Amino acid sequence: MAKEARPIGGRVVAITGGARGIGKATAKALTARGAKVAIGDLDTELAQATARELGGEAVGLELDVTSRGSFEAFVAAVEERLGPVDVLINNAGIMPIGPFDEESDATAHRMIDINLHGVIYGTKIAMPRMKRRGQGHIVNIASQAGKAGLPGGATYCATKHAVVGLSEAVRAELRDTGVEVSCVMPAVVNTELGSGLVETRAVKKIEPEEVAEAIVAALERPKFDVHVPASAGVITKIVSLLPRGGREGVARALKADKVLAEPDKAKRAAYEERAARSEPGLEPEQVEAAGAEKELETTVS
């Protein structure tokens, strides 16, 4: 018999990178169910505009996930405005793509800072608060790229593998504390992050609303592995039983190896430009070099 769903209404939910894409779709889905949602984003004006659009008790706040101080200030502001954080959704992330040997060091540092250190900071800040209350839920947005290595996205895949491993370890540490952890692994999503990416018969884009609904479901009935679509999880389990040569052969047959390796550069140009300016504190020459040389795609998912 299925466990009774935990109500969403009244819960305080903080979402990083919540002004657009998956974050915005999730904020909308949660607000519609009565949650008090705080949208944290580097683009403060857009975060506030998104909060106004959602209505209810939604608030938009400044957040730079690469700075622990900024993250602590964000959580403090959420608790002052809405109350103790019941759910933290570590969603902010970027995805620069292109040949690994052409990737600038600045780009790699930026990806690791946002995709991994941002999740580490958020989780470390939320854990003790939730443990003291004996309840809470941390949701980390990884990717199907956290389960496989895809050409064209080496460093991105590395960060998402790290998020999966981090989530697994933290879940084990939090056993019997009342604090839940979920790791969300979407396929290619129809957001800026997915612009210009190759679709194949086996790899189709999903909508951010589909990811949002999967997150809501995991909050209502706690679940660690959240594959979107669910069929991706089944495929991952089956393929994992094959030897390496077989796994790689299946990937080539399904053309999964083309998804990040052969993007439409023109369709990704605007997003790559924004991605190159997604982390404060970079020297102007670093931004210029990174933006000029790469297929840099970021997602504030």
Residue 113 has a pLDDT of: 97
Residue 235 has a pLDDT of: 85
Residue 282 has a pLDDT of: 53
Residue 301 has a pLDDT of: 41
Residue 116 has a pLDDT of: 98
Is 156 a catalytic site residue? yes
Question: Which parts of the chain have pLDDT scores under 70?
Answer: 1-2, 280-301
| Domains present along the chain, CATH in parentheses | 12-299 (3.40.50.720)
Distance CA 196, CA 264 (A): 4
The one catalytic residue in 74, 121, 156, 271 is 156
Return the axis-axis angle of helices 68-81 and 118-133, rounded to nearest 10°: 40
